Each structure stands twice: as C-alpha cells, then as structure tokens.
C-alpha cells in the first residue's frame, strides 16, 4: 500500500509516532502542534528535524519501508494470535474422505471445506458467536467474503443452496476461489463428476435454440422449394396443354392438306379452293410443328421426320402415306421459305 494520499507533514508525524510509540499526542496525529515541544524531549525534536531534512523521495522511501515493516509485523502477530484460535485446532481440520462421500453439501459446508476446515466446527454461526479476535481473523474474513459471493450467485439463480460436491467444486473453479487439492481428489475418487451443470444446461439451451432456429430455416426453405416445384408442375401442365393443342392443330392441318391436289414440287404451292391466307397459315403450323417436334430440316434429303410423323399418326388411328406426308411437308417448307425471305 503506497499511501500516496499522505501529505509530507502527515508522513513525518506518522514516522515520529512509529519511532516513539510512548508518545500518543493527539496534536501529533492531527498536525495542529499546539503542545509544548519541550515536553517531547530533545530526541524527538532531533528525529523530527532529521525527517524534515529529507527530500520528498527520501521521505517517502523511509515512510514506505516502515509501513511494510508494520504490515509484516501485523501479519506475524495475526498468525500468532490465529494459531491459538479454535478453527486452527486439530479437530477443526476437514476429513475430506468423509465429506466426499456425502451426496450433497450446503453452501456453508462447501465454503468451510474449501478453506480446509470441518463444517461441523467452522461455519457461519460458530464464527459469529466466537467474537473477537475470531471475527477479525483472516479465515473469518475469507469465509464471509466467499459466503457473500455465493449468496450473490444464489440470488441470481446461478447456484443452489444445496448441491452435489462436484457442482460446488465446479463453482469454486469458475469463480477462481482456491480449494484444497486433496478435497478435489477425494471427490473425484468417488466418481463424482466435477461439472458446472448450470452452465452446461445453459449451453445446451443455447444449442437447442440454435438448432430450433436452423430447423425453422430449413422448414421455410423446404416450403419454398415445395412451392417452386408446384409452380413448375403447373407451368409444365400448361405448356403440355399448349403443345397438345398445337399438335392437334397440326394434325388437323395435315388432314386438311391431304385432301388438296398439289403437285409434289418443293418450290411450288398448291392451288385449291382454300383461302390463300388460311393455306399459308396451315403451312406455317405444319412446318413449325415438324421442325420443333420432329427436327424436320428441308435441306436433309432423307427427311427422317416423315417416318416419325407416319408412325405417330398410326398410333392415333389416322392413316397417311409416306408420300403424302412428304408432299405436305414440301409445300409447308416452300411457304416457310417464302415467308422467311420477306
């Protein structure tokens, strides 16, 4: 402890009182110096004068050394006093093997055991009833500090007032409160799992929430894909219906064209009683269907599309010779050729 808040005069007063413990002048403590300095004797005045001659750094170093000495002296004195108190008696120390066999501990028992003491001897009640100098001992202070931390955790719902040895040891580890290694070994030796089940439970709840969110996302994606598939099927049905209608129109056009008397010349167009515009429309339909469905290519002299059309017509119960199909395709191709040149 640096005591930087001490003024120069206060440090001189403190060092004087430290040197001459028999002087307990209230005036020295307050710094009013309303006393008769002659009473202090020449030794005191000489010592004060030697302190006055020191610079700030020297005075502070002298002051800090004496503070450290007093603190060490206080610790030694405290240990000497504590050695004779009840919580340092042989019977006060914990039998870890016995307490490790307990299924549960209370928070009082946990804290006493963590300090290496038997809960039967050292607990909140016995420490309180013992009075001074027990209540001002380091062990009593540590017990109260740990008890306060535990109560804070209990009020926050993060710790139970009674729990398994493993849960309490995990709590001590989590809060970085020291614990005798022998106690940990005794608990582990009996198969107790040292785990913070509260923290594990919270982690699992978080994982479950994440999985539920992921599941909801997957369900939403599944719904969207199902909707897209349904839309695709609807669109496909509409397209199939449209193609069937075109096929029916083409078959009708072929049937009507079969009744026409047109010379089988690729570059000529038939001249019958049909309106030229209707005939041109039928030829366009025939050519388009033959090209789209049967890959009809006028430049291919073999015209494999003719055989495919003839086969499909047989399946529908309609008959048309290969020659007639070729004739109508030639007429349709000629019309298409003329239209494409425009």
Angle between helix 197-257 and helix 322-341 axes, rounded to 10 deg: 100
Give the alpha-carbon dihedral of 250, 252, 254, 255, to 10 degrees. 170
CB distance 14 to 6 below 8 Å: yes
Asked whether the predicted pLDDT for residue 140 surpasses 60, the reply is yes
Q: For residue 101, what pLDDT band results from cuts at 50, 70 and 90?
A: very high
User: Quick one: pLDDT at residue 31?
Assistant: 43
Flag the least confident range among 90-99, 123-132, 189-198, 231-240. Answer: 189-198
Give pLDDT tens digits for 209-231. 778 888 888 888 888 888 888 88
Verify cis geometry, omega within 30 degrees of 0, for the bond prior to 133. yes
Beta bridge pairs of residue 163: 105
User: Quick one: pLDDT at residue 200?
Assistant: 57
Residue 301 in 3-state DSSP?
A: coil
Q: Which two tokens stand for residue 328?
A: 């109508």
Q: Which residue has the higher pLDDT, 196 or 300?
A: 300
Q: Are strands 105-106 and 162-163 parallel, antiparallel or unpaired?
A: antiparallel
Q: For residue 332, what pLDDT band results from cuts at 50, 70 and 90?
A: confident
Flag the least confident range among 49-53, 110-114, 126-130, 196-200. Answer: 196-200
Q: Which two tokens stand for residue 315?
A: 């399946």
Q: Which of 8, 28, 27, 33 is nearest to 18 (CA)?
A: 28
Which stretches within 124-196 are classed as H helix?
124-130, 138-155, 165-174, 181-189
Q: Which two tokens stand for residue 41?
A: 């004797």
Give pLDDT tens digits for 161-208. 999 999 999 999 999 999 889 999 999 898 776 655 565 566 667 778
Q: What is the pTM of this model?
A: 0.41
Give pLDDT tens digits for 5-45. 678 888 888 888 877 765 554 544 444 443 444 555 677 78
Flag the least confident range among 39-43, 53-57, 228-232, 285-289. Answer: 39-43
Q: Which two tokens stand for residue 193?
A: 């799992």
User: Quick one: pLDDT at residue 295?
Assistant: 77
Question: Mean pLDDT score of the chain, rounded to an integer?
Answer: 79
Asked whether the predicted pLDDT for residue 294 surpasses 60, the reply is yes
Vertex 269: Cα angle to 265 and 272 (nearest 5): 115
CB distance 169 to 183 below 8 Å: yes
Give the alpha-carbon dihedral of 270, 275, 278, 282, to 10 degrees. -20
Average pLDDT, integer, range 135-147: 91
Average pLDDT, integer, range 67-80: 68
Vertex 131: Cα angle to 125 and 136 (nearest 5): 100
CB distance 310 to 325 below 8 Å: yes
Q: Which of 96, 108, 107, 112 is nearest to 187 (CA)?
A: 96
DSSP H or E stretch at residue 105: strand 105-106
DSSP H or E stretch at residue 231: helix 197-257
Residue 327: CB atoms within 10 Å: 22
The alpha carbon dihedral of 163, 165, 166, 167 has a sign of: positive
Average pLDDT, integer, range 311-338: 82
In the block, which residue shows the tokens 């535990």?
Answer: 150
Per-residue DSSP letter, 318: -
Asked whether the predicted pLDDT for residue 235 surpasses 90, the reply is no
User: Quick one: pLDDT at residue 40?
Assistant: 54
CA distance 162 to 92: 22
Q: For residue 337, what pLDDT band results from cuts at 50, 70 and 90?
A: confident
CA distance 195 to 107: 16
Q: For residue 283, what pLDDT band results from cuts at 50, 70 and 90?
A: confident
**What counts of helices (H) and strands (E) characterise the chain?**
14, 2
**Where on the phi/psi map is residue 303: left (φ > 0), alpha (ψ -120 to 50), or beta?**
left
User: Quick one: pLDDT at residue 266?
Assistant: 41
């Amino acid at each position: 402890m640096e005591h930087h808040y001490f003024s120069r005069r206060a440090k001189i007063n403190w060092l004087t009182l430290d040197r001459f413990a028999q002087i307990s002048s209230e005036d020295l403590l307050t710094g009013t110096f309303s006393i008769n300095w002659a009473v202090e004797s020449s030794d005191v005045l000489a010592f004060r004068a030697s302190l006055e001659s020191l610079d700030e750094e020297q005075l502070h170093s002298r002051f800090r050394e004496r503070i450290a000495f007093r603190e060490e002296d206080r610790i030694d004195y405290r240990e000497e006093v504590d050695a004779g108190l009840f919580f340092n008696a042989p019977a006060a120390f914990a039998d870890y093997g016995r307490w490790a066999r307990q299924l549960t501990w209370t928070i009082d028992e946990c804290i006493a055991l963590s300090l290496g003491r038997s809960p039967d001897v050292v607990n909140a009640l016995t420490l309180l009833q013992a009075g001074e100098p027990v209540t001002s001992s380091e062990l009593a202070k540590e017990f109260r500090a740990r008890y306060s931390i535990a109560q804070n955790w209990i009020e926050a719902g993060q710790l139970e007032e009674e729990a398994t040895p493993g849960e309490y040891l995990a709590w001590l580890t989590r809060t970085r409160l020291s614990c005798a290694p022998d106690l940990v070994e005794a608990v582990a030796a009996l198969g107790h799992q040292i785990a913070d089940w509260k923290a594990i439970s919270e982690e699992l709840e978080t994982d479950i929430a994440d999985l539920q969110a992921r599941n909801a996302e997957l369900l939403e994606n599944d719904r969207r894909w199902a909707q897209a598939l349904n839309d695709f099927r609807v669109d496909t049905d509409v397209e199939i219906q449209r193609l069937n209608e075109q096929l029916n129109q083409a078959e009708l056009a072929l049937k009507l064209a079969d009744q026409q008397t047109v010379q089988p010349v690729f570059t000529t167009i038939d001249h019958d009683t049909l309106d030229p515009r209707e005939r041109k429309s039928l030829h366009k339909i025939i050519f388009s269907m033959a090209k789209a469905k049967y890959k009809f290519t006028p430049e291919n002299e073999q015209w494999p599309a003719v055989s495919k059309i003839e086969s499909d017509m047989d399946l529908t119960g309609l008959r048309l010779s290969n020659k007639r199909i070729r004739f109508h395709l030639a007429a349709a191709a000629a019309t298409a050729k003329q239209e494409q040149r425009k």
